[in-house]
Each structure stands twice: as structure tokens, then as C-alpha cells.
Structure 1
Amino acid sequence: MADSNRTGTVAGGRDTPALRTAGRRSIGPGIVVAATGVGAGGLVATLIAGSRFGYTLLWAAVIGCLVKISLAEAAGRWHLATGRTLFDGWRSLGPWTTAYFAGYVVVWGFVYGAAAMSSSALPLAALFPGTMDLKAWAVLCGLGGLVFVWFNRYAVFEKAMTVLVGVMFVVTVYLAVRVTPHLGSALAGLVPVLPDGSLVYTLGLIGGVGGTITLAAYGYWVNAKGWTDAGWMKVMRLDNRVAYLTTGIFVVSMLFVGAELLHSSGVALTKGDRGLLDLSTVLEERYGTATAKLFLVGFFATSYTSLIGVWHGVSLMFADFAGKFRPSLTAGAPCPEKSRPFRAYLLWLTFPPISLLFLDQPFALVVGYGVIGALFMPFLALTLLWLLNSARTPAEWRNGLLSNAMLGAAGLLFVVLCVQQLREQAR
């Protein structure tokens, strides 16, 4: 096989020392996808699980990280092994995938935009009380995300995300150490046990450790990084594992906080993003104002990584989606971030959702959002399972037994979670 020293890759997808050296300096897309998927709502769910069951469900959080590693690896492997985007793969499965994705990005983006802005605004309003109304903070967060993503390419975006992840990591690990976890109880929590009434929380922990449409965006970020063929496969896999190890520590730290700070005292948190404000109050009472404010800074970093991550990643996916139907929309753009569909979806994520901040969310829209959103993770897991076991993928990079087991288990899990969410929507 002939070497290609200029790129550090060789034909057939094997990597060279030059590539491995470059890869060690280039970890990044995994951090982006993992941080984007861990939102404030997911942290509240982790805290509530810790407050109700202590360390008992720690094993579920660990399994959740393994599930997300397998999903992100599968998405990245498809892009690198085939040289095609995930939307290309979905289109090859039939027009039904295009119809679902089109409905998803329109309805989901509209409602998610408002939710992301509100989540980012909550800690700012708490940090700077009396300065601005919560809705004004939310609009400012949305516009800030729009301007940042509009004028920057992937490299700057990745650096900003890495800084925010660093803030999240430091704050959560500090809190976990501050509450003085009982390591013996934590180790016991690695043994799979299902206490009475814990099934829903267990499924939520496994399915909620960084699980959103941004898992599908991972392959797009891998390509934006400049990793475009199978020669980058080992680097991508290392990147993915390091990222979800970091996220796992982050999530486990929050479970520790829930177990030690809330479980022992019987404190109940409000569901949703506002539950983190409840935790801030508890931290202030127990450890003082400085610790509470530090936590709010971490809360903002957590929320804002999700906002700008979606603004960038899902806009990349939409640009690919639109460009496949009308190539002239992306023709001539120096990169996808400068294309008309990318910027159009950025505007869709920002301005129409602002109206929802000032109005009660229409019931039909909320129900539609819940239904379409519930279907996405099983859609992703099962279509990846299909694509990576078919002739669409080169034989060398098709699923093995472990990949099939992980993706199959993920698909089954997300189908169960989907049914649960649909039942809640029907109530």
C-alpha cells in the first residue's frame, strides 16, 4: 500500500505515526458533542435520581455513557468509512427518513430554541438579580449564540466549547469533592440494582447522559475538523472515548451531589431547568454565597454549550439536508457555515422561538415537539444499526458483535423511553 505522507494516511484506512501524532493534538469533536448533549434538564434528572435513591443507580449513569460512546462512534464511523454524510445514509433507506427529518428539524428547532434560551437565562438572572427581566436575558443569550456561530467557523467554535466544558468540569468535580462522597457506597452503586419505583429514573439515566440530535451531528463535526476518511478512524474513536469519559465524570459528580446533599436531607428539586436554582439555594445555605455563585457559573456553562452546540451542529445537518435537494443553495460557499441553508436554520433557531418566550406555548406545538423528539433517538440508533450492517458500508468497517449488541440495546432502550414519553404526552 502506498503511503501518503502529506496527509498522514494510507490507502485502506490505516493510520501512520504522523496521523497519530496529529490526532493527539486534535481531540475536539467528541468534547463538542458530549457537552452539547448534557443540558440543564439532564443534570436535574441526575440530581433527582441521586436525591431519591442515593448511589444505587450509579451503574445506570455509567451504562448511559457506554451507550452514547457506541452511538457517537457509529455516526463518526459512517462518515469516515463511507465518505458520505449521515443524511446521505438516511436517504438511501427510503423517502420516509427525509419526511421525518424535515418535520423534526422544523418543529423541534422551533421549540428547542426557546427552551435553550430560557435555560441559559436562568443562571444569569440569578447571578445578576434585578438587572434584567428573565425574558430579556433569554433573548440576549439567543442573539449571542446567533452572532457567535454566524461569524465563526468550526475551529473557534470548538475552542469556545472546550473552555465552557472546562468550567463545567471544574465546578461539578469541586462540588462532588465538597459534599464528601462516601466512596464505599459509591462503589456499591456500580452493582446493578433496581429499587422499588426506580425503573423510570434508571431508563432516564441510561438514555439521558448526553443524548440528543447532536449525537447525529458528531460525524459532521468530525468532517468539519478535517477528519474525512478512514485513516482518521483511530483518532475519532480516541476522541469519542475521552469526551464521554469526561462527561461520565461530570454526570457521576452530579449524582454524588444529589446523593450526599439532597438524599440525606430529603430536599426535593423542581423538575426541569429551574431545579438547578433550587440546588443553588441549598448550596448557599450549606456552603455560602461563593459556592452557590460558582455553581451558577457552571450552570450557565452547561446550558450555553447546549445552545451554541445545537446552533452550530444542527445547522450543519440542515445545510447538508437542503444541499442534497437543491445543490445551488450551498454551491459557492467556502464552507458549510457560510452557506445559505446553514444561516437560514440559525435564524430559525433564534427569531421564531423568541415569540414563544412571550406567549404560552401552543398545546398542539408542544405535543408535536414531544412526539417528534421522542422518536429521534430510536430512529438514530436503529438506522445506524441498519446502515452499518449493510453493503452501504465497506466490509472492513461494518458492525462487529459488540457494536451490534450496543446499538441494538440502545435502540431497544430508546424505544421503551419513546413509549414512555408518548404516554406522558397523551395524559
Structure 2
Amino acid sequence: MELTLRRLFRPVTLEDDASCKPLMAPSSLRRSIGPGILLAGACIGGSHLMSSTTAGARFGFALVGLILLTNLVKYPFLRVGTRFTAATGLSLLEGFQRRNTAYLPLYLLVSLVTGTATIAAVSFVAGLLLTNVPGLTGQDPYGLSIAVLVVCGLVLLLGHYRALDRLSKLLVVLLTLLTGVAASSLLIRGPVGDVAASWVSTDPTPWTLANLAFLIPLMGWMPGPVEMCVWPSLWMFSRARDTEHTATPQEAEFDFNLGYGITVLTALFFVILGSYTMYGSGDGMLAGSGVSFAQKLIKLYTAAMGGWAAWVIIPAAFSAMFSTTLTCLDAYPRSIAAIQGLFRQSDSGDAAPGPLQRRFDPWVVVHLLAAVVALVVAKGGGIGVKDFVFGAMTGSFLTAPLFAWMAMDTINSSLVPEEHRYRPLTRAFCWFGLVFFSGFSLLFISRFFLGLGAA
């Protein structure tokens, strides 16, 4: 019998809590793990490989505090989708629609714009990394990027959620282990320069207006855009249908926390890799062509760690970018397909897998083709990897206050049972996050659009 939305998820009642059935039995917990790992696969990409590595290369460990703070500030917002769905039985998109009629159109509008840019950007980096693979050296990185997009599209169109879930878990485990091995070997071997001093002081300092062009993109995708709060909510329905198991709120949040913890850990791994191998030489990391970036990245690692490092860094870096491309190519079309169903009032967005899948497949093709067009335009315009990827990262940060407000307003609304809403301390921290996002966004706009601090 086809499972429906209301049967897949429903609020946990007092009678459920009072029963003798354990809420986090090992077998049911294992079947609940998936959406959080997919979130990790989406996050561990440009923000980690490019921004975290470059942060370590340019400033050593001076930006570790900002990286951890950004992860902490975004945590309650990104957790909203998981918590809302487990508590209400609704997707967060349906929650947006019920909470405020303006929320869903706003989310759709921004997703249509940022989706293409993000998918094209992450596939571009994946293609660049493939130029380090023997036999692919000298190949056109744009052509390799398009090949990555096509492979990801075929995985989603032919294998659907099950293929996404299985492959993403494999890639996340692989990249976490490989980057952990690389970071551990460097910690044992020691840094190339006096990186320990960067904990308390650095020259040059990152805390200048001129460095906003780097800090804002770093925070934009660290660990990912706030709009990603919707994605685990939708993946929870697909996971429940795949396993025929409905995650309890405790299981769902354990899954989310596991994935989020992996993203934070790997971000620190890449900072270590950058600072221990490139400290003092990071200013030129993103200069020149995209191919030169990919080649410099691998050469610096192998120079510091030995030739064997290529067998670790290349697969780890490519796994990070391929998993990000795959999950983004799923999540943006999945979100738009769900919104389409809500607008038509034909279903609840993800209530029935048949209608959703019929809407989802064309949107995958549309996003794939749009990303290919963006890559062709970027190639014709001579847009480098820094401008391409950092532009997408910056856009994600500037829209963060909007999505953060929508998430906070919905999770604390009457749609959610009171026991599952955020407590006063968490609400206060959410307000701090809104001020954090808004303040940096206004500072960036004042600097680069109004000329604040310009010489």
C-alpha cells in the first residue's frame, strides 16, 4: 500500500511517549539515518575545499573561531526542517505556505536564481579537480564539469532517492576518512611554517574591510546556505518511503546532528590541510585559471606530505565536490517540484511519490541544462573559479537573513506543538543569528556598493 504524507509523519503524542516501545532502538535509528548525511554531502564542497583550505593557507588558524561561530549560528536555522517535519508531519515548505502566503513565493524565486548558480559552481570545481586525474590532464575543465552534471542527472533520473542516499553515504564516509587521514598525517609531521603563531596574531590580519570579499563567501557556504533548511524536511519523506519507517523526533534530530557534526569536523580538517601545507603562500591560491587552482592545490599537498598524498587528496576533494553536485541537483528540483504541487493544491508537495516524481524529473533536466548554459557563458566570458564560486557563496550569505527569519518564524508558530518549538534561550540565539547575518550583509553592501572604507 502506498504510504502517504500523514501516515509517514505525525506528531509524537503523550501516549506514544508513555509506551514501552523505545524511541531510539538501534534498528529503527539505523533506518532513520539518511537526510542528515545528505545534508553533509551537500555542505562539504566549495566552503570546505576552497574557502576553508584558503583560509588556512592565508591566515593559518586565525579564522577557526569565525568558522566555528558561523556553524553554530546557522545550526538552529538549518535544523528547523528536520524538527518541523518530525513534529508536525508536514514538509517545511507546507509550513511556509501555511504560516505566511509570501514565504513560499519568495523561497521559489530565490531558489530558481541561486539553484542554477550553485549547481553550475560546484560542478565546475568538480570538473577542475578531474584535471588532476591521469588520463584527464589537459582536458577542458568545462567539458569535464558538464560530464559530472550528466552523470549526476542520470543517477537521479534512473536511481531516484535510493541511489542518491546510498551513493551520498559512501562519498561522505570516503571524504571524511581520507581528509582525516591527511590532516592526521600533517599533524604528526608538522607544519611548513610558524603556523602556531596564527592562533593569537597573524600578518596580514583577516579583520579588515578589504578581506570582506573573502570572509562573506566563507560564511555564505559555511557549512551551507540557510535555504538548505528545507532539504532535510523533503528527504525525510523519501527516506521514510524507502525504509517504511517513520523517524521519531529524537531519531530525526540524531540524524541531523550526525550530519552536521561531520560538516564541522571536515571543515576543521581542511583548515588544518591549508594551514599546515600552504601557510604564508595562500594569497595566490585562487589567482589564475581554475586549472591552475586545482593543480596548485594538489602540488602543495604532495610537496608537504609526499607523492602518496595525491592518492588521498584527489579522491577526497573530488568526492566532496561530486557529492555536493549530486545533492544540489536533487534538492533544488525536489524543492521546486514540491512547491509546484502546493501551488496547484493537487497534493501536499511530497504527499504522494508518483506526482512528485513526475514533476521532479523535468526539473532535474531543466536545472542540468541551465547549469550547462551557465558554464558555457562562464567559459565564453573568461570567468575564473574565484569569481564563479565566490559569487554564488556571496549571494547565499546575502539571502541568509530572509531564510533565517522564515525558518525561525515557522518553527515557533502555532503550527508546531508547543513542546517542539524553540525554547527562550534558543530563540534568543536565533535573534543573535539574524543580527549576525544582517550586520555582515549590510557591511558588505556598504563596502562594495556604497564605497565604505574605499581608498
| Fold match by TM threshold 0.5 | yes
1:9–1:19: 8 Å Cα contact kept in structure 2? no
In structure 2, the residue corresponding to 1:305 is in which secondary structure? helix
Comparing 265-274 and 348-357, the one that deviates more: 265-274
State the Cα distance separating 1:188 from its structure 2 match: 9.7
1:221 to 235, 256, 268: 235
Instruction: Give distance in 2, aligned partners of 1:40 and 1:388.
Output: 29
Residue equivalent to 1:318: 336
Instruction: Give distance in 1, aligned partners of 2:349 and 2:231.
Output: 21
Residue equivalent to 1:91: 97
1:121–1:134: 8 Å Cα contact kept in structure 2? yes
List runs of 5+ in structure 1 lacking aligned partners.
Answer: 1-5
Instruction: Give distance in 2, aligned partners of 1:211 and 1:77.
Output: 18
1:59–1:191: 8 Å Cα contact kept in structure 2? no
State the Cα distance separating 1:331 from its structure 2 match: 9.7
Residue equivalent to 1:300: 318
Comparing 240-249 and 227-236, the one that deviates more: 227-236
In structure 2, the residue corresponding to 1:101 is in which secondary structure? helix
1:114–1:353: 8 Å Cα contact kept in structure 2? yes
* 2:127 is equivalent to residue 121 of structure 1: yes
Residue equivalent to 1:391: 414
2:275 to 243, 259, 270: 259
Tell me: CA distance 1:208–1:371, structure 2 relative to 1, closer, same or farther (3 Å).
closer
Instruction: Give distance in 1, aligned partners of 2:404 and 2:257.
Output: 18
Comparing 85-94 and 127-136, the one that deviates more: 127-136
Residue equivalent to 2:79: 73
Tell me: CA distance 1:420–1:46, structure 2 relative to 1, closer, same or farther (3 Å).
farther
Instruction: Give distance in 1, aligned partners of 2:141 and 2:39.
Output: 28
* 2:190 is equivalent to residue 176 of structure 1: no
1:282 to 300, 311, 329: 300
What is the identity, as a one-letter code, of the residue corresponding to 1:179?
A: L
* 2:415 is equivalent to residue 409 of structure 1: no
1:36–1:305: 8 Å Cα contact kept in structure 2? yes
Instruction: Give distance in 1, aligned partners of 2:228 and 2:29.
Output: 23
**Pairing of 1:343-354 with structure 2 (within 5 A):** 343-354=361-372
Tell me: CA distance 1:423–1:270, structure 2 relative to 1, closer, same or farther (3 Å).
farther
Comparing 228-237 and 26-35, the one that deviates more: 228-237
Comparing 174-183 and 287-296, the one that deviates more: 174-183
1:388–1:398: 8 Å Cα contact kept in structure 2? yes
2:9–2:89: 8 Å Cα contact kept in structure 1? no
Q: Could you give the per-residue CA deviations for residues 371-410 of structure 1, whole angstroms, max 9, x where no partner exists?
A: 8644432222111211222212111111102321332232
Q: Could you give the per-residue CA deviations for residues 219-267 of structure 1, whole angstroms, max 9, x where no partner exists?
A: 1112222199996111112112222222222111111112221115666
1:381–1:408: 8 Å Cα contact kept in structure 2? no
Aligned Cα root-mean-square deviation (Å): 3.9
Instruction: Give distance in 2, aligned partners of 1:370 and 1:189.
Output: 25
**Pairing of 1:55-204 with structure 2 (within 5 A):** 55-127=61-133, 128-130=135-137, 132-180=139-187, 196-198=205-207, 200=212
* 2:327 is equivalent to residue 309 of structure 1: yes
Tell me: CA distance 1:424–1:160, structure 2 relative to 1, closer, same or farther (3 Å).
farther
What is the identity, as a one-letter code, of the residue corresponding to 1:36?
A: A
Instruction: Give distance in 2, aligned partners of 1:404 and 1:219.
Output: 20
What is the identity, as a one-letter code, of the residue corresponding to 1:28?
A: G
What is the identity, as a one-letter code, of the residue corresponding to 1:21?
A: P
In structure 2, the residue corresponding to 1:226 is in which secondary structure? helix
What is the identity, as a one-letter code, of the residue corresponding to 1:98?
A: L
State the Cα distance separating 1:17 from its structure 2 match: 1.6
What is the identity, as a one-letter code, of the residue corresponding to 2:221?
A: G
Instruction: Give distance in 1, aligned partners of 2:201 and 2:430.
Output: 20
Tell me: CA distance 1:42–1:420, structure 2 relative to 1, closer, same or farther (3 Å).
farther
What is the identity, as a one-letter code, of the residue corresponding to 2:408?
A: L
Residue equivalent to 2:3: none
What is the identity, as a one-letter code, of the residue corresponding to 1:314?
A: Y
In structure 2, the residue corresponding to 1:302 is in which secondary structure? helix
Query: What fraction of aligned residue pairs are identical, expressed as a percent?
Result: 18
2:216–2:397: 8 Å Cα contact kept in structure 1? no
Q: Could you give the per-residue CA deviations for residues 157-210 of structure 1, whole angstroms, max 9, x where no partner exists?
A: 111101111121122112212222679x99998899999433646666555322
Tell me: CA distance 1:129–1:424, structure 2 relative to 1, closer, same or farther (3 Å).
farther
State the Cα distance separating 1:18 from its structure 2 match: 6.1
Instruction: Give distance in 2, aligned partners of 1:132 and 1:337.
Output: 40
What is the identity, as a one-letter code, of the residue corresponding to 2:303?
A: E
In structure 2, the residue corresponding to 1:180 is in which secondary structure? helix
Residue equivalent to 1:269: 285
